[in-house]
Amino acid sequence: MGAELHFLTKTAFKGILTPNPYLDKVYHFDKEIDEVLPELKAEQYDWVIDLHHNLRSARLKLALGRPSRAFPKKNLEKWMMVNTGIDWMPQEHIVDRYLRTVRHLGVQSDGAGLDYFIPTDQVVDLQDLQEQGLKLPFVAFVLGATHATKRLPPESMEQLCRLLPCSVVLLGGKAEAALGEQLAQIGPHIWNLCGTLSLHQSASVVEQAGVVLTHDTGLMHIAAAKHKKIAAVWGNTTPRFGMYPYDPKGLARCENFEIKGLSCRPCSKIGYAVCPKGHFKCMNNQDLNAIARYITLALT
């Protein structure tokens, strides 16, 4: 009661957090925490909650000299899973593990899931696209992911676009713009918005979608925050790391598509530019017809 909540992040992520009404202040830095250290010291915090638990955050805690609590990252468990296949990961979503970091402060989950706040000036009006033929409900297809081994091959994305009997809106950044243009040539039911929207605007499109088809990436979690039906396609990473869509009131809304039983998977807790084994079975063996069937049923 009466507590203030401040958040420290990199400048690149500041825009995601500033619309959040639950945050009293958002501090940010470009490269080093020294950029904001004097301001943070002046705050004289009662507690510092460290959700990164890395060398940078350790240096920050030492510099601030305030009581702190750090998030257990389970790096050993992840290493074991990647390198030996032994699964020591807890049966718990990472969000619930984050919440345990502040349990000593009386913080408990409200059971409502994640929040994502879209500024009113970033809400996308799809009326123009509807007048041009976009039909509701539509599928938002998130093409991107930070690493290539977390993305379907372009030919698989093309096949999925051909299999879906509905309007499909393609989402992604500038890196996906050319692929989006290529996929948009498949037919008039494909709408390419890659490289034209901000993250908030992409989130607005996700919020208006009937189903979100996505890789393991940020918009997947935004879709969960908006309680959307999700078809999540997993490549070299795995939901067992605890970072699947978090929606405690509606887990049935998400279907995870992954190739189980591969001895080489997960090959990384993050991803690679190319498959280390060369065969890329975790994505090449995906049942695209099953994904299309799930989406078709989810739209009804």
Q: How far is CA 275 from CA 66, 176, 281, in A?
A: 44, 19, 9
Q: Which CATH superfamily is domain 120-298 in?
A: Glycogen Phosphorylase B; (3.40.50.2000)
Quick one: pLDDT at residue 2? 75
Quick one: pLDDT at residue 249? 77
pTM value?
0.94
| Structure tokens belonging to residue 144 | 């991107």
Residue with tokens 């060369």, as numbered in its chain: 278
Nearest to 158 by CA among 130, 183, 122: 183
User: Chain-centre distance of CA 291, in angstroms?
Assistant: 19
Burial letters 6-25, b for 16+ CB under 10 A, else e: ebbeeeeeeebbeeeeeeee
Quick one: pLDDT at residue 133? 94
- Residue by residue, pLDDT tens for the chain (300 residues) are 578 999 999 999 999 999 999 999 999 999 999 999 999 999 999 999 999 999 999 999 999 999 999 999 999 999 999 999 999 999 999 999 999 999 999 999 999 999 999 999 999 999 999 999 999 999 999 999 999 999 999 999 999 999 999 999 999 999 999 999 999 999 999 999 999 999 999 999 999 999 999 999 999 999 999 999 999 999 999 999 999 999 887 655 899 999 999 999 999 989 999 999 999 999 999 999 999 999 999 998
Which residues sit opposite 141 in a β-bridge?
170, 213
| Structure tokens belonging to residue 202 | 């992409």
Length of the chain equals 300
Domain boundary assignment for the chain: 1-70, 120-298
